[in-house]
């Protein structure tokens, strides 16, 4: 857990955007608001918030929406992502579907988990996805 002022200004802006867009979350079923902002290697940023559906399997997480927005704009190289939710206690990391989406774009970028009091925890995608399956695995030697 780290102090807000220890974040570099670009990451502070990323985290602020994630916290702000959380207000747009559509979560009438779980009431679990999540906001996210992704930083591309070219410096551009894209937001996402969770969007629930009465057919729960069709719900889309904030993290994937941010990535989808970046990809829609032609961006596929990422530097960092800030993820904000309303949990005050321990830090919460992304679900399995989001983790699989992260690894699709490599393991060498960082996630900043942001709590409402602006404390944060940094974890790399690689740390969050040990023994992951990604695009390189489709090229592995087979029998």
Which residues form the catalytic set?
63
Measured from the Cβ of residue 119, the count of other Cβ atoms closer than 10 Å reads: 14
**Cα torsion 70, 103, 59, 17: sign:** negative
**Residue 67 to residue 78: CA distance in whole angstroms:** 9
Q: Are strands 78-85 and 110-114 parallel, antiparallel or unpaired?
A: parallel
CB 60 within 8 A of CB 82: no
With CA atoms as reference, report the closest residue to 81 among 128, 137, 117: 128
Backbone angles phi, psi at 2, to 5 degrees: -130, 160
């Amino acid at each position: 857990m780290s102090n807000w002022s220890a974040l570099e200004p670009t990451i502070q802006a990323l985290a602020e955007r994630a916290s702000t867009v959380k207000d747009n979350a559509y979560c009438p079923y779980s009431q679990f608001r999540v906001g996210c902002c992704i930083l591309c290697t070219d410096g551009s940023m894209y937001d996402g918030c969770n969007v629930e559906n009465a057919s729960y399997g069709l719900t889309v997480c904030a993290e994937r929406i941010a990535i989808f927005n970046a990809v829609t704009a032609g961006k596929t190289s990422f530097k960092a992502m800030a993820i904000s939710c309303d949990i005050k206690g321990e830090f919460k990391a992304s679900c399995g579907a989001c983790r699989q989406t992260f690894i699709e774009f490599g393991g060498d970028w960082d996630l900043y988990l942001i709590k409402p009091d602006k404390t944060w925890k940094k974890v790399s995608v690689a740390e969050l996805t040990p023994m992951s399956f990604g695009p390189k695995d489709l090229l592995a030697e087979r029998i």
